[in-house]
Amino acid sequence: MQNLLELTLPQLADWFAQQGEKPFRARQLMKWLHQAGVADFMRMSDLSKGLREKLQAAAVIAPPLVKFEHASADGTRKWLFDAGVGNGIEAVFIPEDDRGTLCISSQVGCALECRFCSTGRQGFNRNLGVGEIVGQLWHAQRALRGAPNRLGGEIADRPVSNVVMMGMGEPLANFENVAQALEIMLDDHAYGLSRRRVTVSTSGLVPAMERLAQRVPVALAVSLHAPNDALRDELVPINRKYPIAQLLAACERYLAVAPRDFITFEYVMLDGVNDRPQHAAQLAGLLCGIPSKLNLIPFNPFAGAGLRRSPMERVLDFQRRLQDAGYVATVRKTRGDDINAACGQLAGQVQDKTGRVVQHPARASV
């Protein structure tokens, strides 16, 4: 049975042709599936009864199943989706007054082992399929439609206006599946998201950044976290393979096709590790000449991390130094930390390649 959530519009048109149907049926079904969120073929009223019966026999609409859902006091929503064989992945919806952002996972676990990220501490099991990635958005749209918003009204019919590939996993390590999922998100017959409103975050897989620029150039965020190779080698081990000079050169090339005229650099603030005045000065010099926005992220602690959050006064001093150097520098608002949904806290459930099953202690209430 074909899971229709896995197919881009051209793939769906080809599939319909194989069923002896006109390719234009793909556009109709995409709208029912992704815009209306309809999961019952028999409710797709502009399709003939015979076609609906054929779809019931040959296809399914199968997003990942929800195991748990949590709502934060600040309006953040988090879902734990079943990824099979003891595995779970997490997605988070963050409501703002002017937008709704969904943070989506791309892998079960992560193999990159960044020191400050609880997902990486769990190991890596597998890549998510296209349907599992798109299915997180499909479920969120359906679950949130008509729900109360933070201002007392109702969330719009299409509550997710922005998508960030910043959940569990390194998106560019699952390139083909992520690229196809992005194509579905951007398709006007599906979710119709603007390339400016879809962001892929990467720890610095340089060859895959080049492929993304050629295939589906959306907004780019780079997990930098250090202003020099020695420190970044320690915090973000992939830097040993693709050091900062190579990473920044790839960023400059990406700007030629990027939907925004800057690259976002993410920088988690770690007490006594990367938050000193000399680090701010190094960072300002490092990014000189690259149109940049710096997003300073207060570290969200987890058991066994061995790291502490920088005091807020130091974060603000770091921000001021970058702003004085001419950079746009913001401090990310911590959202959903009461349900372990904040940046760096997504842990899910991962059975890594060694067969070890780990559930992060912070999720004991789940």
Q: Which residues are catalytic?
A: 90, 343
187 residue type, one letter? D
Q: How many CB atoms lie within 10 A of CB 13?
A: 20
Question: Which of 45, 40, 12, 68 lies closest to 183 in space, CA to CA?
Answer: 12
- Hey, what are 129's tokens? 């399929």
Work out the burial of residue 227: count CB atoms within 10 Å of its CB; fewer than 13 is exposed, 13-18 middle, 19 or more buried.
buried
Contact between 92 and 70 under an 8 Å Cβ cutoff? The reply is: no
Place of tokens 């992945």: 89
Could you give the CA distance from residue 171 to residue 177 in angstroms, rounded to a whole number? Answer: 9
Please provide the DSSP assignment of 210-269 as one string.
Answer: HHHHHH---EEEEE---SSHHHHHHH-GGGGTS-HHHHHHHHHHHTTT-SSSSEEEEEEE
Which of the 8 DSSP states describes residue 120? G
Distances (CA, A) of 114 to 231, 238, 337, 338: 12, 8, 20, 23
217: buried, middle or exposed (CB in 10 Å: 19+, 13-18, 0-12)? Answer: middle
Residue 197, phi then psi, degrees to nearest 5? -105, 10
Using an 8 Å Cβ cutoff, are 172 and 153 in contact? no
Tokens of 324: 């004085």
